[in-house]
Amino acid sequence: MTSTPGFPALTVSNCALLSQRGGVRLERGCWQGRDVFVKTLDTADPDIRQRFEHEGEVARRLSHPGIVPLLTRSSERLVFPWVAGCSLRERLEHGPLSPYAALEVTLGVLAAMQAFHEAGVVHHDLKPENVMLLGGRSCAGCVRVTDFGMAHDRTLSSDLHQGTRMGTPQFMPPEQFQGVRGDPRSDVYAVGALLFDCLAGEPPHPDALGWLVGLSSVRLPLPGPAALHPLLESALERDPQRRPPSARALLRALEEVRRRLPPEPPAIPGTVPA
């Protein structure tokens, strides 16, 4: 039982530890009869506590079918519904997606992204690990974006990550590496890298840090149908001004490409679904 001023008592039962890192335990448990995913603060470090509280503040404002909602919280816990399925990263461990499935997943991420951008939030850590697939299925309606631990929220007075280089190099745009915060086009870049990863089975830059600091310009050949290449290319531009300006713009353009793609061949029973 946890009861803290400002927060109601919060009881999570049957907690099973999944992993533990950076002063936070990830657990599966049961809250009010629901299967839940719980992040529990496990350190007295004030910086980690502040970041943890910031994540809760951002997540509590967001509501969209493509975003894992915050169900409840205490000062030590963030409680989310358990998403039965797998992360996009786990899915990609079985190999790349078909072009149609890759587009579906990306469109699902973009629909969620449009919603949080309109709410004033930039995620800053979009990558396959932070995209859940309900039922393990690669369709737009099964996408659940999670982990707003590095997000910038323009409605909150403080930006804890200001001036930091936090993020994952393979999915991080160069300006984010330089410390630029809150530009929605940074997420557009990350989604470009995510789509690339879905199609190729690996992200675009083999030397991601070299690319970020401007020492390497090597990018793997553009994967997937040629109709997608101009969009991939523009989403991954080093200069944010040359990228699609918003989630909505990229979503519309990708929908147009999807309409022109040939239909998917039927799935073969017993194989990994796309």
Ligand X SMILES: Nc1ncnc2c1ncn2[C@@H]1O[C@H](COP(=O)(O)OP(=O)(O)O)[C@@H](O)[C@H]1O
Q: Which of residues 147-206 bind ligand X (CB under 6 A)?
A: 147, 149
**How many residues make contact with ligand X (CB under 6 A)?**
15
45 catalytic per annotation: no
CA dihedral 212, 149, 61, 185 (to 10 degrees): 0
Question: CB under 5 A: which stretch of 145-153, 172-180, 248-256, 262-270 binds Mg ion?
Answer: 145-153
Indicate whether 27 belongs to the interface with Mg ion (CB under 5 A). Answer: no
Stretch that binds ligand X, among 80-88, 104-112, 229-237, 258-266 (CB under 6 A): 80-88
Q: Find the part of the chain contacting ligand X (CB under 6 A) among 78-86, 97-105, 110-118, 201-209.
A: 78-86
Which residues ranging from 6 to 65 are in contact with ligand X (CB under 6 A)? Answer: 21, 26, 37
Q: Out of ligand X, Mg ion, none, which partner does residue 132 contact, by CB within 5 to 8 A per kind? A: ligand X
Q: Which does 15 bind (CB under 5 to 8 A by kind): Mg ion, ligand X, none?
A: none
Least distance to ligand X, CB of residue 57, Å: 15
Site residues for Mg ion per CB under 5 A: 130, 147
What amino acid positions are annotated as catalytic residues? 125
